[in-house]
Structure 1
Amino acid sequence: MKNIFSRREKSAGSSSRKGPDQQFGTGLWRHNRDRFIRAVDRYYTTSVAIHKLPSDGQGTSADANTIVDGTQRLNDLVPVVDEVTAWLHAHHPVTGQVVPSHTRNAVGDTPELLTKASSKVAEAVLAASMARTEIIAGRPIEPSAKATERFISDAAQLLERAQAAIDEGHEA
């Protein structure tokens, strides 16, 4: 995924020293970030549980590896969410859970895109949980493994759109 924030001016090392409240705020942007991170953590926990299950030797391990590989894809999305929400907080701070109209005009559908991206990761968690259950029952997990891939790809696309929406608002 192209990082469109690379052209933006950044404070020299300041973001790494800031605490989460200063970097992401305590309102909607922080809520969106934390929700995404929790979903990624749940996916990781589920994929570790799948990795620990014995393979039945019928292709389950390849499909299980697809699910486990999803953790890396999700880890690659965390800095994107951090960057988007930090930028939103720095330029359009929101203290509550409602986006004021003047902020809404500036950020467009970015809040919904962040929420949908988190929901897609949560759907990937459900698909991975289903795969775990299918492994235990001795059934094939290919459909669940493909679903996790699709949901993670959907989350990445939604975050790409959020980045683009912010970039357009920044240039206007």
Structure 2
Amino acid sequence: MAFFAQARARRRDESELGTGLWRRAHDRYIRGLDRFHQILEQGQDEAASRLVPAADLLADALPRIRAVCVEAHRAAPGVDLNVPGGRFTEVHRRLSRAGNALAASAEAAAMTLLAPGGADDGAAGVENVERRARQVLEEIAAAEAALRDVRSQ
């Protein structure tokens, strides 16, 4: 049964996101989010629990990433693996930065949990993860704004 659900989801993703640039941006965010949660699962329960609010913020942003990627694919469906010139450059740049910031958030979470004493030892590590998570959200907002700009042209 799970096989058929996965096949339907894959077909839906190909239909809504294509197989090129916008799909890659979406999938990269998902991989970063998965990595962040894997890091939390490997941490000690008490230490990792201090990072859960940041993880929740990042997970709650996934529908926003998907919406930007779906709309960008509708507007520029022929884009395969090359960054589109002109109007969509800023949208792609911001999606890439969101993915990079998410990877940096996951790395900061790992470093926080691996530090002596973990997240319980110092608030600086938790604050670093939260700051990086806010950067992800800022890049997503910038991607949404760039897409609005493209629509208004």
TM-score (norm 2): 0.84
1:33 paired with 2:26, answer: yes
Q: Deviation at 1:33?
A: 0.5
SS at match of 1:152: helix
The alignment covers a number of residue pairs equal to 143
Aligned to 1:131: 112
CA deviations over 1:136-170 (Å, ceiling 9, x no partner): x3362422211110111001001101101111111
Q: Which runs of 4+ in 1 moved over 6 A?
A: none
Between the aligned partners of 1:54 and 1:77, the Cα distance in structure 2 is 24
The structure with the largest alpha-carbon Rg is 1
Matches within 5 A, 1:15-30: 19-30=12-23
| Number of the residue aligned with 2:63 | 79
How far apart are the structure 2 equivalents of 1:91 and 1:127?
35
Between stretches 65-74 and 156-165, larger displacement belongs to 65-74
More helix by share: 2
User: 5+ residue gaps in structure 2?
Assistant: 1-8
How far is 1:171 from its partner?
1.8
Alpha carbons 1:114, 1:162 under 8 Å: kept: yes
Question: Any idea what the Cα deviations from partners look like across 1:36-80, whole Å, max 9, x if unmatched?
Answer: 110011111112222xx164xxxxx5xx43311112101111001
Could you tell me how far apart the structure 1 residues matched to 2:15 and 2:82 are? 19
The verdict on how the C-alpha distance between 1:54 and 1:90 changes in structure 2, with shifts beyond 3 A counting, is closer
8 Å Cα contact 1:74-1:152 kept in structure 2: yes
Counterpart of 1:70 (choices 21, 45, 54) is 54
The normalised TM-score by structure 1 is 0.76
One-letter code aligned to 1:19: R
